[in-house]
Amino acid sequence: MAVAAFGVAAACIVAVGIFAPLLAPSDPNALSLAQALKPPSAGAWFGTDETGRDILSRTIWGTRVSLAAAGMVLLISMTVGIVVGAIAGYRGGLVDELLMRVADLFLAFPGLVLAIAITAALGPSLRNAVIAISVVWWPTYARLVRSRVLTVKETLYIEAAHALGLSDSKILFKHVLPQCWGIVVSRATVDVGYAILLTASLSFLGLGSQPPAAEWGSMIATSRPYFFSYWWTVTFPGLAMFVTVIVFSFLGDALYETFGIKGGRQV
């Protein structure tokens, strides 16, 4: 029941991102200084920012930007992590030791600090922020998949596959990895919210998405000086980010319970 409820909520958020051009009432970057810092009203439900841009439109477009960035982070980190973890767990021995020590090297640094350092070195942009977060994240998936592969490869049907003369690659990709997808998908669902939060954090620090792009972290950063006098400039993008992170986190937790797994992020 919880999976269905949070799944519908997550689907609605994704739909907002996909159909942002249709849902946004105006151009998110359209300037109108005469309408600057107007409070929420019938003409602008979320009010306007310091340059007169419609905050509702920018928040809706921010959903698309944030979800796209989180999707790219997870795609890159999962691809690298699954490949590394599968090879390490299945091959074992020196290969396992070498690959896991490399993963431990990345895990030794606090995730946010390492992401900040990498983004600062590459230059502030949303693309570089995605790359930095992916570098931080892949070891988590590598260790997760490795632990599952170590369990699955000792089962009787894998031993039977070896006895039948199947190649290692066929056993790994056809019989072992499919047993890992439940864990990976449930973990990735939780990480959608964390990826959005970390991307927004880098944008807030000026290292991610750059103005005038409609991205939640960047919107909060540029509106920060006006918060106490014009509360709506920060509140609505902040609430959008809060709701999105909560929905995907609870959905991921529900999926963890469905697959009989407990736990949270390690980074």
Is cis: bond before 237, omega within 30 of 0? no
The Cα-based distances of 251 to 4, 7, 185, 206, 208 in angstroms read: 9, 6, 11, 30, 27
Residue 266 has pLDDT above 50, yes or no: no
pLDDT(234) > 60: yes
Predicted confidence at residue 259, as pLDDT, reads 60
User: What pLDDT is attached to residue 179?
Assistant: 83
pLDDT, residue 240, reads 95
Confidence category of residue 95, pLDDT binned at 50, 70, 90: very high
Mean pLDDT, residues 164-182? 81
Predicted confidence at residue 64, as pLDDT, reads: 94
Residue 206, helix vs strand vs coil: coil
Higher per-residue confidence, 212 vs 102:
102
Distance, CA of 120 to CA of 117 (rounded, Å)? 5
Q: What is the 3-state secondary structure (H, E, C) of 35-96?
A: HCCCCCCCCCCCCECCCCCEHHHHHHHHHHHHHHHHHHHHHHHHHHHHHHHHHHHHHCHHHH
Which amino acid is located at 167 in the chain? Answer: S
Under DSSP, is residue 98 helix (H, G, I), strand (E, B) or coil? helix
Section 248-262 average pLDDT: 75
CATH T-level fold of 46-258: MetI-like fold (1.10.3720)
pLDDT attached to residue 39: 92
Percent of the chain with pLDDT over 70: 96
Tokens for 243, please give them. Answer: 């709701």
User: Cβ contacts of residue 211 below 8 Å, gap of 6+?
Assistant: 218, 222
Enter the DSSP assignment of 211.
Answer: T
Q: Which residue has the tokens 């994704």?
A: 14
Region 210-238 average pLDDT: 90
Pick from 258, 259, 234, 249: which is nearest to 58 by CA?
Answer: 234
Q: What is the per-residue pLDDT for 5?
A: 87
Q: Confidence class of residue 201 from pLDDT cuts 50, 70 and 90? A: very high
Work out the mean pLDDT of the chain and round it to a whole number: 88
What is the pLDDT at residue 154?
Answer: 79
Beta carbons of 86 and 95 less than 8 angstroms apart: no
What is the DSSP secondary structure assignment for residue 205, as one 8-state letter?
A: T
Structure tokens given for 225: 């000086």
Q: What angle do CA 254, 104, 108 make, to 5 degrees?
A: 90
**Is residue 79 over pLDDT 90?**
yes
Per the document, the length of the chain is 267
The CA-to-CA distance between both ends of the chain, in Å, stands at 29
Instruction: List, as one string, the DSSP characters of 150-178.
Output: HHHTTSHHHHHHHHTT--HHHIIIIIIGG
pLDDT, tens digit (0-9, with 9 covering 90-100), for 21-57:
999 999 998 888 888 899 999 888 999 999 999 999 9
Say yes or no to pLDDT of 134 above 50.
yes
- Quick check: 218 and 209 in contact, CB under 8 A? yes
CA 153 to chain centre: 30
Domain boundaries, the chain: 46-258
